[in-house]
Amino acid sequence: MLLLAIDTSTTAITVGLHDGSGVVAETTTLDARAHAEHLAPGMQAALASVSAAPDDVTDVVVGIGPGPFTGLRVGIVTGRTFAFALGIPVRGLTSLDAVAHQAWLGGRRGDLLVATDARRKEVYTAVYALGDAGARRTAHPVVSRAADLPAELRALPTAGRGAALYGEALPHGIEPLDVSGGALADLAVRRLADATSRDHDGTLQWTEPGRGFDGLEPLYLRRPDVSPAAPTTKSTLG
């Protein structure tokens, strides 16, 4: 196995490689506006660091957000195109899950809020219960102003850049601040290991409901900043 993980849902344009035993490479560039420019070089650098070629990759996993429209779709489209060209599986995971998983890998236990920058003075959030078996998401991700979150959530330890941006509303910020490609890769390999069988059409079956993958549809949670202009009947001729 050589699993390639890609995430562009946050400030971090991040890539991870996992060989089935552990993370063997990770590259990360922090840039909120230039995901397309940094992703391909990051993939090349990660592969080169372990003397691997693109066709050595056996699986691709992409973070599906939530995240801002333009940056998020860069990672998803790139991952899907890469996998299609090689004829290998591509799967999606919620990016906030990777942040919670990294906190869990670092020894964090108990309830955790993950809050990442949604721009427009808002945050993307999800709540997790971190136990010995891993980080379990307890509700679907939402987007809102940090100060509008329920008081009991704002009182939780908070991973992600939301706490750094809105410390008055989210006073208990902890690391990590962004998605790690290595943590995303590690989470994906663990999810694959949880698969116990395949049904008649090859679909993976899981030991525990909700512990599989999340599909490849991006989680935008709101409309894009730019939308097509309304149609007009005004003639543009002569």
**How many helices (H) and strands (E) in the chain?**
6, 13
The answer to the question of residue 66 being in a domain is: yes
The pLDDT of residue 238:
43
The answer to the question of residue 220 being in a domain is: no
The pLDDT of residue 14:
98
Q: How far apart are CA 184 and CA 169, in angstroms?
A: 28
Question: Which CATH number characterizes residue 71's domain?
Answer: 3.30.420.40
**Do 55 and 89 fall into the same domain?**
yes
The pLDDT of residue 34:
86
Q: Are 182 and 98 in contact (CB under 8 A)?
A: no
The pLDDT of residue 201:
57
Give the CA distances from residue 189 to residues 45, 135, 165, in Å, rounded to whole numbers and listed in that order. 21, 14, 32
| Phi, psi (deg, nearest 5) at residue 18 | -130, 130
The pLDDT of residue 67:
93
- The segments of the chain whose pLDDT lies below 50 read 209-210, 225-227, 229, 235-238
Domain region containing 106: 96-174
**Do 7 and 89 fall into the same domain?**
yes
The pLDDT of residue 198:
54
Q: How far apart are CA 176 and CA 117, in angstroms?
A: 13
CA–chain centroid gap for 88, Å, is: 20
Give the CA distances from residue 195 to residues 143, 172, 235, in Å, rounded to whole numbers and listed in that order. 31, 35, 58
DSSP string of 10-64?
SSEEEEEEE-SSSEEEEEEEE-SS-HHHHHHHHHHHHHHHTT--GGG--EEEEE-
The answer to the question of residue 236 being in a domain is: no
The pLDDT of residue 19:
97
The pLDDT of residue 235:
44
Q: Are 179 and 72 in contact (CB under 8 A)?
A: no
The pLDDT of residue 237:
46
Residue where the block lists tokens 């900043």: 225
Q: Are 100 and 125 in contact (CB under 8 A)?
A: no
DSSP string of 208-227?
STT-S---S-----S--S--
pLDDT tens digit string along 189-210? 999 988 755 555 556 555 554 4
Number of domains in the chain: 2
Q: How far apart are CA 186 and CA 17, in angstroms?
A: 9
